[in-house]
């Protein structure tokens, strides 16, 4: 199979794609990918296709029938090969998309390349017809604007950027060369970045003993507006980040966080993969309940590796973990739907807020469950082993062999190290909806960290149980605490609060709510044009709260020892710091 990419009128943002394909008899079935790895929902990329044509080797149109939204049956009797021509509308810019304008051609082939079952594993050649001044950032070898993939899986797992604005540097760890590419308006602080990237890369490789490939590429699309997104691949990652001026200032922490996260995916997901996704099936959904491993463990480990390598201080790391705990505590879907069920349902509504209180995040819940497993293993092995050992065993016993894992494999790896059954954990917390709070408090206390809470500063959220969106003109309810004062009184999401005890609200709802905190209150709301009065009796109990972690002031020797082993005293070439120190 051969693909040719042309960009005749980049301002129109249509990429002209030609695919030359072998015919397989009287009929050949042609497919367009329905989704992409790293985003476990239907992408339906065929919706971006225009000017779809199919011809034989002589340029004569072939008869074809569209069987469903991403499948065509082509009449190929008497044909050795046939050609598919189409234009792909490339306007979306994120870490897993395809984009074209006058400055660049950025392609994730899984968005825009057709395939057949018969040629799926055959070599694929790609020709790029691009301006002479453009450089190509790619993890495959490119010569004369052409490259070859071993098969369709390798093709779609290797995105590329063609642009005249590319900047590049590199570093080496344990025989693997890591390339860092920036595209866009950006002024890289190369010395700082290479130092920090080298540190967390060494720490991750140390956990797995080796890196899966001999080279790896970080592709950064730096944008002038606010964005944050990353997508993993076997030999690369694409990361979008912006605005440009903040990347090496206030967003540098995010740059490190997403980069460490995506690098860890090289082992976890690209190698250690749910059995339902070995191999990937790009024709339809690939349902699995293991999103809490694929994304949750990676979320936990990505930030933890920054701390273990000395790139993050303990204070910086705990702030990241604070954010996960806050998301967990503020999502009342945790009482209704398990993380395993939510993983299965990413294909339904996993990346949208969805119905309030219906589901949980595989990233957040999986992160906290990974932390609990890590500490539980420490407890049961005299602080000698942890989740690192579990993931390393899964890599060598499954991932490196191309074998997918099941939940039973993950559970067995944990139990093999812990020496006890973990069935309760999977029943109550992975597949159940039992509160994590007690487990979290116990785990943090074990390593000398206090898990605390206080009312949020927002008065309406803290004492009336409603999160609001405030503008100069309106204060609108966006979330309600189940059983909180406004919920019980009959408030609804999207209600506008217009008065409290007869006092008009003009972007000062928190001041009036605090003024009347100890009184009975009459809340006036505007519900789609209808004015409604809600009565709320006096209440002093806080509802929405801020949850945060801090180091215990005077930990005992057992807590200090556990903390040191959790952190891992062997930090590579970084200086070991006291647990209370700052970087």
Q: CA 220 to CA 259: how far, in whole Å? A: 10
Nearest to 97 by CA among 165, 46, 43: 43
CATH assignment at residue 509: 2.30.42.10
Distance CA 486, CA 482 (A): 9
One domain for residues 447 and 464: no
Question: Quick one: 276 and 351 in the same domain?
Answer: yes
Residue 543, domain member (yes or no): no
Helix (H, G, I), strand (E, B) or coil at 153: helix
> What is the per-residue pLDDT for 539?
80
The verdict on 95 and 106 lying in the same domain is yes
Question: Where in 191-342 does DSSP place strands (E)?
Answer: 215-222, 227-232, 236-242
| Last residue within a domain, chosen from 202, 234, 266 | 266
CA-to-CA dists, residue 245 to 106, 151, 383, angstroms: 22, 40, 43
Sheet holding 160-163, edge to edge: 99-101, 104-107, 160-163, 135-138
Tell me how long the chain is. Answer: 583
Classify residue 542: in a domain, yes or no: no
The pLDDT score that the predictor gives to residue 570 is 41
Element (H, E) at 357: none
Q: In angstroms, how far apart are the furthest CA atoms of the chain?
A: 86
Domain membership flag for residue 541:
no
Question: Both tokens of residue 79?
Answer: 């044909």
Domain boundary among 237, 266, 295: 266
Whether 468 and 531 share a structural domain: yes
Residue 207 lies in a domain: yes
Tell me how many degrees the CA angle 284-156-207 measures, rounded to the nearest 5: 100
Write down the pLDDT at residue 253: 98
Q: What is the pTM of this model?
A: 0.95
The domain in which residue 223 lies consists of 165-266
What phi and psi, each to the nearest 5 degrees, are found at residue 229? Answer: -165, 145
Residues 58 and 76 in one domain: yes
| Contacts with 242 (C-beta within 8 Å, 6 or more apart), sequence order | 184, 222, 223, 224, 225, 226, 227, 251
Low-confidence ranges of the chain (pLDDT < 50): 570-583
CB-side neighbour CA atoms (13 Å) of 6? 9
Looking at the fold, whether 252 and 231 belong to one and the same domain comes out as yes
Q: From CA 115, how far away is CA 124, in angstroms rounded?
A: 10
Residues 168-191 as b/e (b if ≥16 CB within 10 A, e otherwise) read ebebebeebebbbbbbbebebeee
341, part of any domain: yes
In this structure, are residues 225 and 208 in contact, taking their beta carbons and an 8 Å threshold? no
Q: Can you tell me the distance from the alpha carbon of 567 to that of 447, in angstroms, rounded to the nearest whole number?
A: 10
Confirm whether 544 is domain-assigned: no
The whole-number pLDDT of residue 573 equals 36
Residue 158 CA to residue 124 CA, distance in Å, equals: 12
Residues 150, 51: one domain? yes
Q: What is the CATH classification number for the domain harbouring 107? A: 2.60.40.3650
Residue 565 structure tokens: 């082993």
DSSP state of 244: G
The residues that bridge with 239 in the sheet, in sequence order, are 220, 230
Q: Are residues 433 and 580 in the same domain?
A: yes
Is residue 262 within 8 Å of residue 178, measured between CB atoms? no
Give the per-residue pLDDT at 313.
Answer: 96
My answer on whether 124 and 14 are in the same domain is yes
> Among 131, 164, 197, which residue terminates a domain?
164
Asked if 325 and 468 sit in the same domain, the reply is no
Tokens coding 549: 């972690």
Regarding whether 133 and 103 lie in a shared domain, the answer is yes
Quick check: is 322 in a domain? yes
Residues with Cβ within 8 Å of 246's Cβ and at least 6 positions away in sequence, in order, are none
pLDDT at 569 (0 to 100): 53
- Residues 6+ away with beta carbon under 8 Å from 357: 331, 332, 333, 335, 336, 482
Q: In terms of DSSP bridges, do strands 49-56 and 81-89 run parallel, antiparallel, or are they unpaired?
A: antiparallel
Backbone angles phi, psi at 368, to 5 degrees: -70, -35
Residue 244's alpha-carbon distances to 96, 166, 201, 228, 351, in angstroms, are 19, 14, 24, 12, 26
For 474-497, letters b (16+ CB in 10 Å) and e give ebbbebbbeebbbbbbebeeebbb
Report CA-CA distances (Å) from 480 to 72, 288, 526, 528.
Answer: 47, 31, 16, 18
Task: Count up the domains in the chain and report the number.
Answer: 4
| CATH number, domain containing residue 407 | 1.10.390.10
Residues 241 and 273 in one domain: no
Within a domain: residue 488?
yes
Beta carbons of 362 and 291 less than 8 angstroms apart: yes
**pLDDT at res. 350:** 84
């Amino acid at each position: 199979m051969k693909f040719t990419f042309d960009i005749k009128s980049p301002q129109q943002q249509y990429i002209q794609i030609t695919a030359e394909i072998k015919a397989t008899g009287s009929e050949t079935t042609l497919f367009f990918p329905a989704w992409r790895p790293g985003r476990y929902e239907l992408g339906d990329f065929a919706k971006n296709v225009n000017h779809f044509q199919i011809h034989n080797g002589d340029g004569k149109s072939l008869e074809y029938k569209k069987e469903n939204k991403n499948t065509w049956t082509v009449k190929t009797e008497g044909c050795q090969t046939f050609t598919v021509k189409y234009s792909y509308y490339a306007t979306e810019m994120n870490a897993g998309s395809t984009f074209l304008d006058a400055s660049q051609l950025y392609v994730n082939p899984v968005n825009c390349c057709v395939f057949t079952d018969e040629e799926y594993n055959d070599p694929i050649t790609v020709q790029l017809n691009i301006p002479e001044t453009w450089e190509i950032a790619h993890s495959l070898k490119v010569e004369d604007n052409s490259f070859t993939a071993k098969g369709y899986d390798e093709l779609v797992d290797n995105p590329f950027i063609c642009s005249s604005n590319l900047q590049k540097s590199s570093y080496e760890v344990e025989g693997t060369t890591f390339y860092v590419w920036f595209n866009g308006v950006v002024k890289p602080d190369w010395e700082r970045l290479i130092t920090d990237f080298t540190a967390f890369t060494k720490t991750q490789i140390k956990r797995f003993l080796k890196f899966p490939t001999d080279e790896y590429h970080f592709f950064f699309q730096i944008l002038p507006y606010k964005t944050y997104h990353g997508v993993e691949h076997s030999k690369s990652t694409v990361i979008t980040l912006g605005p440009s001026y903040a990347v090496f200032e206030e967003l540098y922490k995010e740059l490190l966080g997403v980069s460490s996260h995506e690098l860890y995916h090289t082992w976890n997901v690209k190698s250690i993969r749910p059995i339902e996704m070995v191999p990937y099936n790009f024709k339809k959904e690939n349902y699995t309940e293991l999103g809490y491993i694929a994304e949750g463990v990676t979320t936990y480990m990505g930030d933890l590796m920054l701390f273990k390598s000395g790139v993050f201080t303990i204070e910086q790391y705990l702030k990241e973990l604070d954010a996960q705990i806050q998301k967990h505590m503020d999502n009342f879907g945790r009482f209704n739907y398990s993380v395993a069920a939510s993983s299965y349902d990413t294909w339904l509504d996993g990346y949208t807020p969805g119905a309030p209180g219906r589901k949980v995040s595989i990233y957040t819940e999986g992160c906290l469950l990974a932390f609990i497993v890590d500490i539980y293993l420490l407890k049961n092995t005299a602080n000698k082993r942890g989740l690192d050992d579990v993931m390393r065993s899964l890599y060598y016993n499954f991932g490196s062999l191309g074998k997918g894992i099941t939940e039973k494999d993950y559970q067995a790896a944990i139990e093999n190290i812990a020496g006890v059954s973990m069935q309760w954990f999977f029943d109550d917390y992975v597949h159940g909806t039992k509160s994590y709070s007690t487990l979290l408090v116990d785990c943090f206390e074990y390593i000398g960290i206090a898990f605390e809470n206080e009312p949020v500063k927002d008065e309406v959220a803290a004492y009336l149980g409603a999160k609001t969106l405030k503008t100069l003109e309106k204060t609108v309810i966006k979330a309600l605490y189940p059983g909180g004062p406004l919920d019980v009184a009959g408030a609804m999401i999207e209600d506008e609060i217009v008065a409290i005890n007869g006092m008009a609200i003009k972007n000062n709802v928190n001041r009036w709510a605090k003024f009347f905190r100890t009184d009975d209150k009459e809340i006036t709301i505007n519900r789609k044009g209808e004015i409604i009065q809600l009565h709320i009796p006096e209440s002093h109990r806080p509802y929405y709260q801020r949850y945060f972690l801090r180091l215990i002031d005077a930990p005992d020797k057992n807590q200090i020892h556990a903390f040191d082993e959790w952190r891992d005293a062997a930090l590579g070439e970084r200086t070991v710091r006291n647990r209370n120190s700052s970087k």
